[in-house]
Amino acid sequence: MQNHNHQKKIALINDYTGFGRCSVSVQLPLISALRVQCCPLPTSILSNHTGFESFQFTDFTPNMQGYIDEWQKLGLEFSGICTGFLGSAAQISIVRSFIERFGGENTITVIDPVMGDYGRTYSTYTAEMCEKMKELTAFANILTPNLTEACILLDEPYDEKIKAEKVEKYAAALSAQGPEKVVITGIRQGSYIANFCYEKGGSIHIIRTHKIGTTRSGTGDVFSAIVAADAVNGVEFSVSVRKASSFISRCIKKSIELDIPLTDGVCFEEVLHSLK
């Protein structure tokens, strides 16, 4: 049997969106640019993301298990597993089984618990899905929630004016549930956006970048892709978070210069050469 495991690989579990620069469409080229093979496992297929007035959507759930079984037949091993938006309780259960099947001490699992923003869960998210996501995050080595998601996972009230001390407390509480490393992203601090990095043992780093422009689709996917690829490459956690934050800033700045519509995400292609 051929050995397909001579190169570092990340299993990327997320939706595939043809237009709008988000999910697999963004993450695959970024992970590849950081010299890691990206193996996508789609959860759904969309013509363009749901921020547009209309879109075509195909649920991939019925096909996921057969897809995974074929990977096992090939004897694939993964240096990393990276998860993104999961559209149902069934998908969360499938991902949990995938991690149990392909994970282990030589595999770094990065979970982006894409559940909501601005203090609200996404309309597709049910109470059952929230509970299952809480269970799934215990399998993460690295967890990358925004503030809304951190609050949901901890059953804490959302406060957009939250103090730094409380964010640090939330990060430590999330780590206590399983993840070795946690970054709570997108905390607004005046003219800055802060990411709070916590590592087991109490190490805290706060990475700040100047806020530029408005929120665009796909920036969370850019962030988790860089963090995941860096993790399997052995890059220090806080260094990786700073790299991801700086790269997103460059992407947004270039998108503004080129007058890219907000729905179209960030034109990362224009600055991809700067990602190392």
- Three-class SS string for 119-185? CEECCCCCHHHHHHHHHHHCCCCEECCEHHHHHHHHCCCCCCCCCHHHHHHHHHHHHHCCCCEEEEE
Is pLDDT of 40 > 90? yes
- Range 24-41 average pLDDT: 98
Average pLDDT over residues 158-181: 96
List strands edge to edge, sheet with 181-189: 57-59, 37-48, 9-19, 80-83, 108-111, 142-143, 181-189, 192-199, 203-210
Q: Using a cut of 0.85, tell me whether the model's pTM lies above it.
A: yes
Q: Is the distance from CB of 138 to CB of 175 less than 8 angstroms?
A: no
Residue 123 pLDDT: 86
From CA 53, how far away is CA 82, in angstroms rounded? Answer: 29
**Can you tell me which residue has the tokens 């993790």?**
231
**pLDDT value for 16:** 97
Query: What is the token pair recorded at 220?
Result: 């969370």
pLDDT band at 15 (very low <50, low <70, confident <90, very high): very high
How many helices (H) and strands (E) the chain has is answered by 8, 11
Question: 230-263, pLDDT tens digit by residue?
Answer: 999 999 999 999 999 999 999 999 999 999 999 9
Determine phi and psi for 235, rounding to 5 degrees: -75, 140
Owner of token pair 């991809």: 272
Per-residue pLDDT at 201: 85
Write out the two tokens for 230: 């860096």
For residue 113, give both structure tokens. 């618990």
Indicate if the pLDDT at residue 202 is higher than 90. no
Residue 243 CB contacts under 8 Å (≥ 6 apart), including other chains: 226, 230, 235, 275
Per-residue pLDDT at 157 exceeds 90: yes
Helix (H) or strand (E) holding 92: helix 89-102
Residue 1 has pLDDT above 80, yes or no: no
- Residues sharing a CB contact under 8 Å with residue 155, sequence separation 6 or more, in sequence order: none
Q: Could you please state the CATH topology (level 3) that the domain comprising 9-270 is classified under.
A: UDP-N-acetylmuramoyl-L-alanine:D-glutamate ligase (3.40.1190)
> Can you tell me the distance from the alpha carbon of 124 to that of 122, in angstroms, rounded to the nearest whole number?
5
Gyration radius (Cα) of the chain, Å:
18
Could you read off the pLDDT of 70-90 as tens digits, one per residue? 999 999 999 999 999 999 999
pLDDT in tens, 56-69: 999 999 999 999 99
Q: Give the mean pLDDT of 183-198.
A: 95
- The whole-number pLDDT of residue 88 equals 94
Q: Give pLDDT, residue 215.
A: 82
